[in-house]
Structure formats: C-alpha cells, structure tokens
Chains A and B, each alone.
Chain A
Amino acid sequence: MKSINGSTHRRVTDIPNAQASNTMNSTTGPALVANYLSFSFDATPVLDNVNFTVNRGEFVALVGPNGSGKSTLIRILVGLLRASSGTVEVLGCEPRMLRERWRIGYVPQRPALTGDLPATVEEVIQAGRLARRGWWKTFRQADHDAVDHALAAVALTDLRKRPVTQLSGGEQQRVMIAKALAGEPDLLVLDEPIAGVDKEAQRQFRDSVVHLVAHHQATVLLVSHELGAVAADLDRVIVLKRSVIFDGTPAELTSRGVSLGIHHDDLPLWLEDLEVPGAT
C-alpha cells in the first residue's frame, strides 16, 4: 500500500466495490483539493493561501506546530467552517454540496464521549452507520455486517456490549474511529486521534488505519503530533504553518532534519524550525 516515491497511488476506478457505490461526478479526480484557501478569525489570519491535493487511496499526515491552523483547516475540509477565500473540493464537490456526506468519516479532536453516556460500544458505532443507511430506516444485514467489521478493525469485538464509559481513553478513541469506519467512508479525516493514548493503543490504531487503506481503498488524512506509530505507512506528509511549508514523502521530510519517530512533544518544535519556502 505504501508509496513513498508517490508512484503507486491507487485510483478509485481500480476498485470494483468503490466504483459501484460512487456517483459519477465524484468518482474521479483527487479526494481532497485546497486551492488558495485562507481563513481569518476576527481579522487574525489563521490560514493563508493553503494549497494541496490528496489523491484517492493515499494515507497522508497533516502536521504542524501548535497554532499552525491544522484543526481549522480540517473543519473547513469537512464542511464545519467556511473559508474566508479560496476553494475546497472533497470527493469532487464543495464539502457542503456533497450529497453523500456519509462518504466522509470524521473523528474530531476532542473526546466526544461524556462521562455519563449510558450507551454500549455497539450503539455508538451503529450511530456512524445511520447517515449511510438513512436515519429513519431499519438496519439490514449489510449494516450489521459493517458494524461488525468496524468493531473487528479496531479489535473491540469482545467489548461490543460494554458501556463506553467503562473503557479506557485509548479504547474510547478506537470506538470513535470504528464509528467513522462503520459508514465505510471513502475519505477518513482524523484530528489528533491518538493524542494522549498509550503505545499499545497507538499500535492498534495504526493497524486499524492500515487495514482501512489496504482493504477498503479509503483515503486517510491524519492530523497528529505522534506519527511514530504510522510513519512507515504514510504516503505523504504535509506540514502546515498557516500555509503549506512542506508537501512530500516522509523520507523527504526526514532528509530535512525532521524525525517522525520522535516523541510527540518534540515534533511541533522540529516543525517550527522548518522554513517557509521562499522565506529566506
């Protein structure tokens, strides 16, 4: 699945199942395109002329120093915020105009599970299938199978009937990833999914995402300060510091002195030292 040299990216047209489930205008072309994207908050620029493309089937990491605009960019990409200027295309459409929104799987940064949520792991994951099925329709076998598959992908099958509040932080994060997987998305956007979880949880997270990319041909955009667990599996790394200051393979990034396998507290500092192209 890995294509460090950028030459072996899959195309959705190579995949029969994906071909059958997609609409005409959004089956070809890149999964994500940001064109001269800018965003200001109260006249303070947060993003400035951000340009990048993520091709279908790629596993891409978006990294950057603290306050570099990563979460803002993600929220624009998934349609929760409008850009001040520039355009975004997600699966061939402006995010809010995409009819089959279930094709975007989203795992937000903050933990969504409140301490008193009376729900099982299975119920939470089923919620991720609703938009695809139609929220008013009863689940069919294919929907139950998708939920089972999502549970298995994050190794939580044995805990499916367990209340989510009894799980550890790492397990809860895997529940949220499985919830996103249950919709069988074409694009999975993960905002700091492994922040604060232990090494074993990071390894299981890595296995889940690799499984998704390898077996479901999904496109994955991962925002994280902790790339060590997935560094060897990434196709590309995009470094953001209000605008894109690096876009290339992990090998190219490490050749510029940034180690992706280092502790998460240090990565933002390494990225601070990367220079903006043309700035010097």
Chain B
Amino acid sequence: MMPWPFELDFMQRALIAGLAIGIAAPLVGTFLVQRRMALFGDGIGHAAFAGVGAGLLLDVWPTWTALAVAVGGALIVEWLRSHGRATSDLALALLFYSGLALGSILLAKSGSSSIGRDQYLFGSVLTANANDVRTVVLLAITIVLIVAVAARALFAVVLDEETARVNGLPVDRLNLLLAALTAVTVVAAIDVVGTLLVAALMVLPVATSRLLATSFRRTLLLASVGGAVSVIAGLSASRGFDLAPGGSIVLFAVALFVVVSLVRGVRTAPASNEHTHQH
C-alpha cells in the first residue's frame, strides 16, 4: 500500500507513467538543449497533435498515428535543417503551424469534443488505463536504452559536428536518431503532459541540471532526477489542490529551476572569480 497521495489505483498508474516520462524525456532534451534546439520537441508536439486528429478521424489508436506523424515530421525537419533547405527555426515554424492547423481540422472532422481535445493538448494522466501506462513505460524504456547506447556518440556530435564527421562518426544517422527519439518521447508524454507542454519536460529539468552538473554524464543523471521530482511533486499538488496534473508537473519543473538558480546564484556569486581557472 502506497502512502497518500498515491494510495489509489489511478494515482499509482499516473505515477508510473509520469515517472517513466519524467526520467526519459530529459535524457533526450539534454542533447536538444546542447544543440540549441530546445523548441524542437514543441514543434514535434504540434505535429503529433495532427497525428492524434488523424487517428481519431480514422478510428485507429491515436497514439500510433501520433507516433507515425511525429517521427515523419521530425525526420523531415532534420532533413531540411541538415541540407540547408531551411533554418532550424523556420523548419520548426512550418511544423508548428501546419501540425496545429491540421490537428484542429482533423479533430473537428472526427467529432471529438472539446474535452477530448484538451486531454491531448494538456494531458490526462489521471485517466490513463493500464494499457496506456504499459505503452508509455514501453516507449520510455526504449528511449532510455537507446540513449544509454548512443549517448557518447550523440555527445560527440553536439560537441563538434564537423570533427565528428571527419572522424567518420555517422553524423547524419545520429542526427536522425535524435530527431526520431524526440518524436517517440513526445508521443510517450502526450498522456502525461499533453502536446502543448511536452517540450517543457524535455527542457526544464535539463536547464536545472546544467546549473548543478560539472560533467555531461551528471547532466543527464540530474536532469532525469529533476524530471522525476517534478512529476512526483506535480501529481501530489494535483491531488491535493485539485489542479490539472500536466500543468502542475510543468510548474514544479519551473519552480525547481528558479529555486536552484537562486540558491546557486547566492552560493557562487562571491566565489565565481576564484573558481575560474585562468592562465
């Protein structure tokens, strides 16, 4: 028997799905932030919204149509970026607006209610059934395993793409892998925080961990810890104060960043000059 606020079945399901995403999403986000592509997940989230609309209209499971559209959109954006056909922000803008516009049309055509629309936009982790949780956990485990294998190579690429290319690392394939991982993360997180807030879980814990970590390995680890803490705190607040769980989780991630920034600022400001190693 788990203690309050996770003593009820629906809260336990929410906790399991939330922790899976809270741990996995910042792992992918760490590489996006380092590449200055923090909003990439947001763009993919909008594409996934169109995929959800397509699934509802075609009466197939929306998670899988969202996954197909999100992965397709991510690969197209990465291709446009890497081949110089569009700048990163322009490619993302294309994805943002076309995804949202298409999603709204498809959802309206499918006859989905505004409540149904909101659950995809902002998450509905408290109503997740066992099947939803299994899917989220399966996708999260896939993400963690792939990152565990590819983390060093992805780091080498974000560190210096040109040198990695000269050395013979498969830079284009690794970039596509990161784009696909982002898409899988977004879709896995739809139930937890929704397509509009999904990028927050990929980025905010990373921003916090970068304030604390002194190595890339620890950045990954602390980002996952921050994501998990935000999920636990957000779900607790959601239960205690009857708040929307997705929004609560993201606001706790923001609060964690603010608190760590303030504490770190107070602790390091007087000594910052001493610690900088200059020759």
Contact = CB atoms under 8 A, between A and B. Distances in A.
B169 A135 contact: yes
B150 interface: yes
Contact of A131 (B160, B168, B277): B168
A136 B276 contact: no
A120 B168 contact: no
Contacts of A127: 152, 155-156, 159, 164
A162 B275 CA distance: 11
A116 B165 CA distance: 22
Given A106-B166, A108-B162, A130-B169, A168 B277 contact: yes
A117 B159 contact: yes
Contacts of B169: 130-131, 135
Interface in A42-91: 78-80
Contacts of A124: 159
Contacts of B156: 127-128, 130, 135
A83 B162 CA distance: 17
A126 interface: yes
A106 B167 contact: yes
Contacts of B162: 80, 106, 108
Interface in A107-139: 107-108, 112-113, 116-120, 123-124, 126-128, 130-131, 135-136
Interface string B146-185: 0001101101100110111111111000100000000000
Contacts of B170: 135
Contacts of B174: 135
Given A117-B34, A118-B210, A135-B150, A183 B167 contact: yes
A124 B275 CA distance: 20
Contacts of B152: 126-127, 130, 135
Interface stretch (B118-126, B129-137, B211-219, B232-240): B211-219
Contacts of A120: 214-216
Contact of A100 (B34, B168, B219): B168
Contact of B277 (A108, A117, A162): A162
B113 interface: no
Interface residues of A, number: 43
Contacts of A123: 155, 215-217
A48 B29 CA distance: 45
A166 interface: yes
A200 interface: yes
Interface in B176-217: 209-210, 213-217
A192 to B, nearest CB: 14
B83 interface: no
B55 to A, nearest CB: 33
A127 B34 CA distance: 15
Contacts of A170: 279
Interface in B242-279: 275-279
B162 to A, nearest CB: 6
A41 to B, nearest CB: 15
A220 interface: no
Interface in B93-110: none
B167 A131 contact: yes
Of A98, A119, A201, most B-chain CB atoms within 10 Å = A119
Contacts of B153: 130, 135-136
Contacts of B163: 106-108, 112, 128, 179-180
Contact of A119 (B150, B155, B277): B155
Interface string B3-35: 000000000000000000000000000000010
Interface of B: 34, 149-150, 152-153, 155-156, 159-160, 162-170, 174, 209-210, 213-219, 275-279
Given A102-B168, A127-B155, 11 more contacts: A107-B163, A116-B210, A117-B34, A119-B155, A119-B159, A127-B152, A131-B167, A135-B174, A136-B150, A167-B277, A179-B163
Interface of A: 78-80, 98, 100-102, 104-108, 112-113, 116-120, 123-124, 126-128, 130-131, 135-136, 159, 161-163, 166-168, 170-171, 179-180, 183, 198, 200-201
16 contacts: A79-B166, A80-B162, A80-B166, A100-B168, A101-B166, A102-B167, A106-B163, A112-B160, A118-B209, A120-B215, A123-B216, A124-B159, A130-B153, A130-B169, A135-B153, A166-B275
The 6 closest A-B pairs by CB, nearest first: A101-B168, A135-B153, A127-B156, A131-B167, A112-B160, A106-B166
